[in-house]
Amino acid sequence: MPRNTYNDVPPDILEEAEDEAPVGEIGSELDLDLDASPSSVQAGVAVIKRFWATLPNAPGVYRMLDAKGDVLYVGKARSMKARVGAYARGQGHSNRIARMIAETAAMEFVTTVTETEALLLEANLIKQLKPRYNVLLRDDKSLPYILLTKDHEAPQIVKHRGARTRPGHYYGPFASVWAVNRTINALQRAFLLRSCNDSFYENRTRPCLLFQIKRCSGPCTREISIEEYQRLAEQAREFLAGRSNAVKERMVAEMQAAAEELEFERAARFRDRIAALSAIQGAQGVNTQAIEEADVFALDEQAGQFCVEVFFFRNWQNWGNRAYFPKAHRSTPPEEVLASFLAQFYDDKPPPKLILLSHEIEDCELLAAALSTRAETKVEVHAPKRGERRQLVDYALRNAKEALGRRLAETASQAKLLAALGQAFGLDSAPRRVEVYDNSHIMGTNAVGGMIVAGPTGFMKQHYRTFNIKSEELTPGDDYGMMREVLRRRFARLIKEAPRPLSPAMGEGGGADSSGAAEVCSSPDAPSGGSTSPSGREDREEAFPAWPDLVIIDGGKGQLEAARKTLAEIGAGDVPLVAIAKGRDRDAGRETFFIPGKPPFKLPPRDPALYFVQRLRDEAHRFAIGAHRAKRKRDMARNPLDEIPGIGPTRKRALLHHFGTVKAIQRAALEDLMKVPGINAATARTVHAFFQDGRS
């Protein structure tokens, strides 16, 4: 067959397109299923050709959209005309790309000045839009950092996540919260820095417990002068910036000087601080003498799944490792998975000076240039072949293989438990998404509803939700009313935002809502045309459903009936529903299960499904209790100043600095409030009126 299938696509563009095409698109054997039939591919190609005709030979980012407007794929190109021309060929694509072309109904483009800008924009759009056909970094939590603030006379050392908006020095990332907490504890012992918030600091009249156990030097009550405390903070900055040996040597010298002057208590304090520093320096899983700052990435692939193990090295220290499991089609080459993962990984965090990889990736120089632009310093990216750097990569690769092996084993075990759960509750197939609901409150106060989700890979914590009980009509402690409110809010929003799939519990006959199921069963994850091809099943298995296949309520027959009526009222009456009542004396193993239309029953004491349900219920209980306690703690610690309109953190701090306590602010005259730096007359009147109204 001639290469140029379409006469209006010039051969030179097609030749350039072969160089521009994403990995796996050009030169692979065409393998179409029913979803990507030749006619559907031709229809997609016709759409792409219409957009291709007017594209410039410029770098940029393109998006492929389906008929609903959902983004199928985001890609970048050195020449958008050449890259999109590769799709217009309509042949020589992998099965995955052929299906993507077949579903394409429209395209959108963004032109950039350089290919580096296109790479950065592509990574940002992939993380935001989560297209079906891209490699997706599945991670619901940002990595933790250590923050040493510089917006206060007494710098504070704290754990930090998220946007780095507060002035200060950030050190990290660390692989886990445990590593951050361990390091902060050691730094507190070594440098006696405070970890309390500014409000707590301003309102102290005597040292807290941390001062008594020698974890803080007590700057709040001037147990140490501010100048001396700032010297301690500077030493901590030097240590975290990599000059740890110099800091340690100074401490050793001061310890020896104190001992020679017979000041043994002071010498003992330096000894303890040196021991704390040694603990930080010695806590390393991998020792390296040649690398000051680097991230090591190693990718392993087994059974169509991928694992990327990341090791973080800062200041010649190993700050931990973390395993990621990106979502990618099993036919995607490992090099492409790793390249896409890297671009997304550094979308919200600064890169180190050196990045070591287990695989050679395409556009390595382009990625290095993009990261250098973001970091405003040179970033080196390469896959070492020998030496100490290769040993670090091999070590990370071994950990990646072990982590993926454990995940596959856990997934297989989880699949068996889900199958047992479906069989125990009479479902037609194993549930893929299980939602468990529980409420927590104390006499109706600070009432919170919690929803946890379990799936094929275990607890899906990124899908957990909390619900603050808002209804003012509820009687305090009305568990039935709380459950009705939680389920009504959850499923009303679900019906509004997500298409309605067929429930797995509904067999061929349908169920309560089977007559209308055909109108709402289509979803972004379901293939068009009702295909039952192997690759179509593969796509459906990879997509985690938005609708639950089973809902479990912590409670008895009353909670079940309240939940059943609520779901029926909002049009979700066909969702399989189970209530679990605690056993006699609340003993595990004696639980009674309630299902609509069936008599209550118990599961055998050693049934794996029973243990699984107990784990689900306990996790829901833990999550709801935790949310309730957090809400109660916030209410107990609420400052009256937080309730005054127009009083933000800066003005609040100014008032507390000037008056010392909230009670003093309450008693202050309007003229005194106006004298506070940063408080204008209008704000002073607002504060004065707020407290005067409260007194009356």
Q: pLDDT-derived band of residue 523, with 50, 70 and 90 as boundaries?
A: very low
Pair of tokens at residue 555 = 């409670």
Predicted confidence (pLDDT) at residue 601 exceeds the cutoff of 70: yes
Output the DSSP codes for 410-467. Answer: HHHHHHHHHHHHHHHTT-SS--S-EEEEEEEEETTEEEEEEEEEEETTEE-GGG-EEE
**Alpha carbon distance 274, 255 (integer Å):** 9
CATH of domain 11-129: 3.40.1440.10
Positive or negative: CA dihedral 593, 500, 137, 141: negative
Residue type, 371: L
Q: pLDDT-derived band of residue 548, with 50, 70 and 90 as boundaries?
A: very high
Predicted confidence (pLDDT) at residue 29 exceeds the cutoff of 50: no
Q: pLDDT-derived band of residue 499, with 50, 70 and 90 as boundaries?
A: low
**Alpha carbon distance 158, 485 (integer Å):** 38
Output the DSSP codes for 509-575. Answer: T--TTHHHHHHH---TTSPGGG---HHHHHHHHHSPPSS-SEEEEES-HHHHHHHHHHHHHTT-TTS
Under 8 Å CB-to-CB from 449, ≥6 apart: which residues?
A: 437, 438, 439, 466, 467, 469, 482, 483, 485, 486, 624
The Cα-based distances of 362 to 37, 333, 377 in angstroms read 31, 11, 22
Predicted confidence (pLDDT) at residue 431 exceeds the cutoff of 90: yes
Q: pLDDT-derived band of residue 549, with 50, 70 and 90 as boundaries?
A: very high
- Most confidently predicted of 135-139, 252-256, 305-309, 470-474: 305-309
- Three-state secondary-structure class, residue 43: helix
Q: What is the pLDDT of residue 9?
A: 44
Name residue, tokens 């005054």.
644
Give the whole-number percent of the chain exceeding pLDDT 70. Answer: 81
**Alpha carbon distance 673, 677 (integer Å):** 9
| Pair 446, 468: CB distance under 8 Å | no
Name residue, tokens 């169509």.
304
Q: What is the pLDDT of residue 508?
A: 36
**Alpha carbon distance 105, 35 (integer Å):** 15
Alpha helix positions (H), 192-310 = 198-202, 209-212, 226-240, 244-260, 264-282
Q: What is the pLDDT of residue 638?
A: 65
Q: Residue range 18-36: average pLDDT?
A: 39
| Pair 361, 335: CB distance under 8 Å | yes
List, for residues 276-330, the tens digit of each pLDDT value.
Answer: 666 555 544 455 556 778 899 999 988 788 999 998 888 777 777 888 888 888 8
**Alpha carbon distance 121, 60 (integer Å):** 9
* Topology given in CATH for the domain delimited by 425-441+448-507+537-625: Nucleotidyltransferase; domain 5 (3.30.420)
- List beta partners, residue 439: 449
Residue type, 322: R
Residue type, 349: K
* Least trusted range by pLDDT, from 40-54, 242-256, 600-614, 662-676: 242-256
Q: pLDDT-derived band of residue 8, with 50, 70 and 90 as boundaries?
A: very low
Every domain range in the chain assigned CATH 3.30.420.340: 425-441+448-507+537-625
- Three-state secondary-structure class, residue 580: strand
- Most confidently predicted of 13-22, 68-77, 532-541: 68-77
Output the DSSP codes for 122-190. Answer: HHHHHHHH--TTS-B----SPPPEEEEE-SSSS-BEEEE-S---SSEEEE---S-HHHHHHHHHHHHHH
List, for residues 240-275, the tens digit of each pLDDT value.
Answer: 766 666 666 777 777 787 777 787 776 777 777 777
Q: What is the pLDDT of residue 24?
A: 35
Name residue, tokens 């209008």.
682
Under 8 Å CB-to-CB from 422, ≥6 apart: which residues?
A: 428, 429, 430, 431, 504, 550
Q: Residue range 150-170: average pLDDT?
A: 86
Every domain range in the chain assigned CATH 3.30.420.10: 293-406
| Pair 134, 154: CB distance under 8 Å | no
Residue type, 43: A
Strands 577-581 and 550-554: parallel
Q: Choose between 454 and 445: higher pLDDT.
A: 454
- Most confidently predicted of 129-143, 257-271, 379-393: 379-393
Positive or negative: CA dihedral 543, 547, 550, 554: positive
Pair of tokens at residue 124 = 């940002």
**Mean pLDDT (the chain, rounded):** 78
Q: pLDDT-derived band of residue 16, with 50, 70 and 90 as boundaries?
A: very low
- Three-state secondary-structure class, residue 362: coil
Q: pLDDT-derived band of residue 585, with 50, 70 and 90 as boundaries?
A: low
List, for residues 39-65, the tens digit of each pLDDT value.
Answer: 778 888 888 888 888 888 888 899 999
- Cis bond upstream, residue 173 (ω within 30): yes
Q: What is the pLDDT of residue 451?
A: 93
Pair of tokens at residue 550 = 């089973």
Q: pLDDT-derived band of residue 433, with 50, 70 and 90 as boundaries?
A: very high
| Pair 217, 210: CB distance under 8 Å | no
CATH of domain 640-695: 1.10.150.20
- List beta partners, residue 436: 452, 552
DSSP designation for 363: T
Residue 401's H or E segment, with its range, is: helix 387-424
The Cα-based distances of 683 to 46, 156, 654, 671 in angstroms read 63, 29, 12, 12
Level-2 CATH architecture, domain 293-406: 2-Layer Sandwich (3.30)
Q: Residue range 463-483: average pLDDT?
A: 81
Q: What is the pLDDT of residue 367?
A: 87
211 HSE (CA, 13 A, CB side): 15
Q: Residue range 330-347: average pLDDT?
A: 86
Predicted confidence (pLDDT) at residue 440 exceeds the cutoff of 70: yes
Every domain range in the chain assigned CATH 3.40.1440.10: 11-129
- What does R_g of the chain's alpha carbons equal in angstroms? 30
Q: What is the pLDDT of residue 520?
A: 32
Predicted confidence (pLDDT) at residue 4 exceeds the cutoff of 80: no
List, for residues 624-645, the tens digit of each pLDDT value.
Answer: 888 888 877 776 656 677 778 8
* Least trusted range by pLDDT, from 228-237, 402-411, 483-492, 511-520: 511-520
Q: Given phi > 0 = left and psi -120 to 50 = alpha, else beta, which region is 176?
A: beta
Q: What is the pLDDT of residue 279?
A: 57
Residue 592's H or E segment, with its range, is: strand 592-594
- List beta partners, residue 295: 312, 355
Every domain range in the chain assigned CATH 1.10.150.20: 640-695
Q: What is the pLDDT of residue 68?
A: 86
**Alpha carbon distance 375, 367 (integer Å):** 12
Q: Choose between 140 and 351: higher pLDDT.
A: 351
Determine the length of the chain: 696
Q: Choose between 239 and 557: higher pLDDT.
A: 557
Under 8 Å CB-to-CB from 33, ≥6 apart: which residues?
A: 95, 99, 531, 533, 534, 535, 536
Q: What is the pLDDT of residue 315?
A: 72
* Least trusted range by pLDDT, from 16-20, 329-333, 558-562, 635-639: 16-20
**Alpha carbon distance 25, 13 (integer Å):** 16
